[in-house]
Each structure stands twice: as C-alpha cells, then as structure tokens.
Chains A and B, each alone.
Chain A
C-alpha cells in the first residue's frame, strides 16, 4: 500500500464548477499536511497547508480527518487557470528528521 494515495484523475470539469479531491495516508504518525500544485513541466509549488480545524484560502478549502487519515481539497468556482496536477503531501517528523511524502497527484482540467 502506498504511503499517500490519490485518485489520479483526470477530472475534467467545466469552468465555474466545484471539484473535490481526496487523499488518504497510511502513517498515523504523520504530523503536517499540505496541498501542492504542479503545472505541466514545472516544479511543485505550495498551494496551502492543511490544519486540523480545516482552512480556507479564497476558493480553496482544505480539510483533515486524522481519525480516518484522510485529507481533502475543495475548489469552488473553478477557473481555466486551475488546470494542473494537485499533490497531496504528508510530513513526518521523527528523530529530528523531516520526511515529506508526496502522493502521485490528481490531474484537473477545467474547460470552457
């Protein structure tokens, strides 16, 4: 079983739609969670951190369920520019280390 699992997609949605991505992680010791965005042939960049109480940044909402080891990302009123791959990221901090594990990503295509 992979440490971080995501539905690879692609999700093809019309502009203005609401779309949700899910992610599960296997290590209950994981301590920090993030969503990254990666455009085609570019490096991953942080979209937002995920906090236990859930958090929102404009059209983007992230949720964390530690009991189920589940993370979600909701995008409202999707734009053409949201087309990208969204990577779920889990960080473990053990023995002074700082291991950051990525899911394989979910591809989103927003269409006119």
Chain B
C-alpha cells in the first residue's frame, strides 16, 4: 500500500488566492483527518470524516476553510481567501477504525506571502 498520499508537497501562494490541498487515504480506512501544524500551536485537528461524512469540524479556524470528502478515496481542504497566518504544514491522516492508530501523509507545506 502506498500510504496516505497528499498533494502538493509544497505550495507558495499570494495572500487572497485560493488554495486547495488534496488527500488520498489508505484504501479501506473509514476515518480521515485533516491537521495543521505550526511551531506555536503544534498539531491541531481541523476536521475529520467517518465514511465520507464530516463528524467534527470544530477545529476549522473560520469560514475561509472548507473540507470535502466526495468519496472514500479523496478529500480536499480549501482555503479561500488565503492569509499569511495560514502558513503551516497541513497533514492528512487516515485510520481504519476506532481505537487504532492514524497513518499520516507526508504533509503539504503551505506558505502564503
């Protein structure tokens, strides 16, 4: 299995632009998580899905952030409009079922200038 696949690996964009991050979870995993990591705040859970349904989006910072999971093999995290304070590493992770570990993708390093 290729593991969790994220794209792009790096993204540099100008403030105000729309950014879309993509994730392909491990096949057969029912849970998908989006995290953001910064030096100041560590790893923060933004949203997670169970069987493509959003379960908890309380970590999504504001309306500029949205996430979708149209099918079991694909999810997107969109930021519109982007701001410099959104600069961070965004990780996607998937998990087969409750009480098991989450497997992380390699992350997308986002820089908003």
Contacts and interface: CB of A to CB of B under 8 A. Distances in A.
Contacts of B33: 100
Contacts of B103: 46
Nearest to A91: B99
Interface stretch (B19-27, B41-49, B61-69, B72-80): B41-49
Interface in B77-98: 91, 93, 95, 97-98
A44 B92 CA distance: 11
Helix, strand, loop or mixed for chain B's interface?
strand
Contacts of B91: 43-44
Contact of A93 (B35, B41, B99, B107): B99
Contacts, number: 56
A43 B42 contact: no
A98 B95 contact: yes
A42 B9 CA distance: 11
Interface string A71-101: 0000000000000000100010100111111
Interface string B25-56: 00000010101000001110100101000011
Interface residues of A, number: 22
Q: Which of A42, A43, A104, A105 has the most CB of B within 10 A?
A: A43
Contact of A102 (B31, B42, B101, B106): B42
Interface of A: 31-32, 34, 42-46, 49, 87, 91, 93, 96-105
5 contacts: A43-B104, A87-B43, A96-B50, A104-B43, A105-B43
